[in-house]
Amino acid sequence: MRAHPAGPLHGAFAPPPSAGTPPADLGALDERVWPRSARRVDGELHLGGTPVTELARVHGTPLFVLDEDDFRGRAADFATAFTGADVHYASKAFLCGQVARWIAEDGLHLDACSGNELALALAAGFPAERIALHGNNKSPVELQLAVDAGIGRIVVDSFDEIDRLVPIAEASGRAVPVLIRATVGIEAHTHEFIATAHEDQKFGFSLATGDALTAAVRVIREPALHLAGLHSHIGSQIFDTAGFEAAAHRVVGLMGQVHQATGEVLGELNLGGGFGIAYLPDDDPVPPDDVARRLRTVVAAECAALDLPVPRLAVEPGRAIAGPGTVTLYEIGTIKPVRLGSGGQGAPQVRNYVSVDGGMSDNIRTALYDASYTCVLANRTSDAPPALCRVVGKHCESGDVLVRDLWLPSDVRAGDLLAVAATGAYCWSMASNYNYLLKPAVVAARDGGTTVIVRRQTLADVFALDAVLADVPAPSPAIDQPAPELPVGARS
Ligand code: LLP
Note the pLDDT of residue 10.
44
* Rounded-to-integer distance, Cα 484 and Cα 486, Å: 7
The answer to the question of whether 397 is labelled as a binding residue is yes
Please say if the pLDDT value at position 321 is more than 90.
yes
Q: Please tell me the least confidently modeled range out of 192-196, 223-227, 380-384, 401-405.
A: 192-196
Give the Å distance between the CA of 275 and the centre of ligand 1: 9
Please say if the pLDDT value at position 4 is more than 50.
no
Please say if the pLDDT value at position 467 is more than 90.
yes
Give the Å distance between the CA of 236 and the centre of ligand 1: 5
pLDDT digits (tens, 9 = 90+) for 406-427: 999 999 999 999 999 999 999 9
Give the Å distance between the CA of 103 and the centre of ligand 1: 17
SS3 223: coil
Q: Give me the chain's average pLDDT, please.
A: 92
Give 196's pLDDT tier (boundaries 50, 70, 90): low
pLDDT digits (tens, 9 = 90+) for 247-292: 999 999 999 999 999 999 999 999 999 999 999 999 999 999 999 9
Among 65, 131, 21, 58, which Cα is nearest to 327's?
A: 65
Note the pLDDT of residue 187.
75
Express the helix, strand and coil content of the chain in percent, nearest 5 each: 30, 25, 45
Please say if the pLDDT value at position 477 is more than 70.
no
Q: Which of 180, 275, 316 to mutate to test the pocket of ligand 1 (most atoms within 8 A of CB)?
A: 316
The tally of CA atoms less than 13 A away on the side-chain side of residue 134 is 22
The answer to the question of whether 318 is labelled as a binding residue is yes
The answer for residues whose C-beta is within 8 angstroms of residue 437's C-beta and 6 or more apart is 358, 359, 361, 362, 394, 395, 480
Q: Decide if 77 contacts 68 (C-beta within 8 A).
A: no
Q: Check whether the bond before 167 is cis (ω within 30° of 0).
A: no
∠369-374-379 over CA atoms, to 5°? 140
Please say if the pLDDT value at position 186 is more than 70.
yes
Tell whether ligand 1 has an atom less than 6 A from the beta carbon of residue 275. Answer: yes
Around Cβ 14, how many Cβ atoms within 10 Å? Answer: 17
* Burial of 492 (C-beta count, 10 Å sphere; 0-12/13-18/19+): middle
Domains identified in the chain and CATH numbers: 39-66+324-455 (2.40.37.10), 68-322 (3.20.20.10)
Tell whether ligand 1 has an atom less than 6 A from the beta carbon of residue 365. Answer: yes
Note the pLDDT of residue 12.
44
Tell whether ligand 1 has an atom less than 6 A from the beta carbon of residue 316. Answer: yes
pTM of the model: 0.94
Tell whether ligand 1 has an atom less than 6 A from the beta carbon of residue 273. Answer: yes
Give the Å distance between the CA of 149 and the centre of ligand 1: 24
Give the position, in ligand 1's atom list, of the atom nearest the Cα of 430.
Answer: 16
* Rounded-to-integer distance, Cα 349 and Cα 184, Å: 48
The mean pLDDT value for 182-195 works out to 74
Note the pLDDT of residue 2.
45
Give 5's pLDDT tier (boundaries 50, 70, 90): very low
Residue 264 carries which DSSP code? -
Q: What percent of the chain stands above pLDDT 90?
A: 84
* Rounded-to-integer distance, Cα 482 and Cα 478, Å: 7
The answer to the question of whether 316 is labelled as a binding residue is yes
Q: Please tell me the least confidently modeled range out of 30-39, 126-135, 178-187, 265-274.
A: 178-187
The answer for residues whose C-beta is within 8 angstroms of residue 85's C-beta and 6 or more apart is 292, 312, 313, 314, 315
Q: Are strands 86-90 and 109-112 parallel, antiparallel or unpaired?
A: parallel
pLDDT digits (tens, 9 = 90+) for 391-403: 999 999 999 999 9
Note the pLDDT of residue 172.
98
C-alpha torsion 145→315→444→46, nearest 10: 160
